[in-house]
Chain A
């Protein structure tokens, strides 16, 4: 937040606390608010409450995939909108991962890099991780289900998930959406246990969008999860 923000007097502290939660305070303001929250239990409880409210609001209006019927109704059905690959191209994924490793500052982000490497490896390796990602919790995944998840199957509705993105530890979900959205990627659902998000990117722009994301210091990694980049 900039210092020229002038909320109404009575709401000033709540507004600043709200902005602090959103990562919108400048460095000095954020530091001051962090100290206040640390030393003031009431304020800490208030911050926790606000965070809980955000979670409830997001749960009340969840982001969902758009049914094919609705895409058609909107006049947006197009081959370019559908997933483009049947299988994962392991060599392409590894190549990109290695390029990403070289491009990133290894000393600065070692812990983040292993996360994206691990995620891409498991997804690229057998497809099970990706299948589990899409499957309901607790559901068993058959071989055909795994394959269908990564293929251009009619049961897979828009959006076309074609990338995986992992953010730095300090990036919360709201910021993740913001960063991805600014680059042109749409994060789908919620991150998995390892903190990896699945993402949909317009097929024709995927390389550019992934490059933009990789260049962002808040992004630990961004990789394609199909073979379209061969």
Chain B
């Protein structure tokens, strides 16, 4: 008999996935810029991939972290695939904030609407970090490991992401009242 860890039955693993499914779903929606349908598509693809690779998860490690990492990697794969097919995705424009001209064209009925628009328009690299920290409540260290980034990059991108959303929210109803 060796000291190997016995792998839980698939059914138990599925139950454990269901327990954090709401968080994973929100994470997917965040990565998808708040788009519910695209988020659920990513969630479905991630769960399918995970279930087909459950044998690759190492017992004794966090199933949750494994799933979130798999989801994040899958999302990157999907974006690269889109780019390979000539569909523009701003994955490299990590630190771009909206320009003055762009902001001038924006007008929102509420701050919430502005925040939604900002998430949809935000460069993907900023969105990834904001999703992990703000939506999923991860530490900078966890986020760095999840996204394969230095912690300093997590910190600066998060700050830029907040500035990005702020620039949109400032185009909301308060601005119109103040004008």
List the interface of chain A (C-beta within 8 A of B). 1-2, 4-8, 11, 14-15, 17-19, 22, 24, 49-50, 52-54, 56-66, 70-71, 73-76, 78-81, 158-160, 173-178, 181-182, 184-186, 188, 200-205
Contacts and interface: CB of A to CB of B under 8 A. Distances in A.
Given A14-B163, A78-B15, A58 B156 contact: no
A124 B69 CA distance: 37
Interface string B94-105: 010000000000
B158 A18 contact: yes
A53 B136 contact: no
Given A61-B135, A64-B25, A184-B64, A78 B119 contact: no
Contacts of B17: 76
12 contacts: A7-B156, A7-B159, A14-B163, A50-B162, A54-B134, A62-B26, A71-B18, A71-B21, A81-B15, A81-B19, A177-B137, A181-B23
Contact of A2 (B18, B34, B119, B151): B151
B115 A60 contact: yes
Interface in B1-35: 8, 11-12, 14-23, 25-26, 29-30, 34
A160 B14 CA distance: 13
A25 to B, nearest CB: 10
A64 B40 CA distance: 12
B137 A186 contact: no
B112 A181 contact: no
A24 B14 contact: no
B162 A75 contact: no
A181 B16 contact: no
Contacts of B115: 53, 56-57, 59-60
Contact of A18 (B16, B139, B155): B155
A202 B16 contact: yes
A22 B21 contact: no
Nearest to A188: B22
Given A15-B156, A54-B134, A174-B137, A78 B22 contact: no
A14 B14 contact: no
B133 to A, nearest CB: 7
Nearest to B119: A60
B48 A53 contact: no
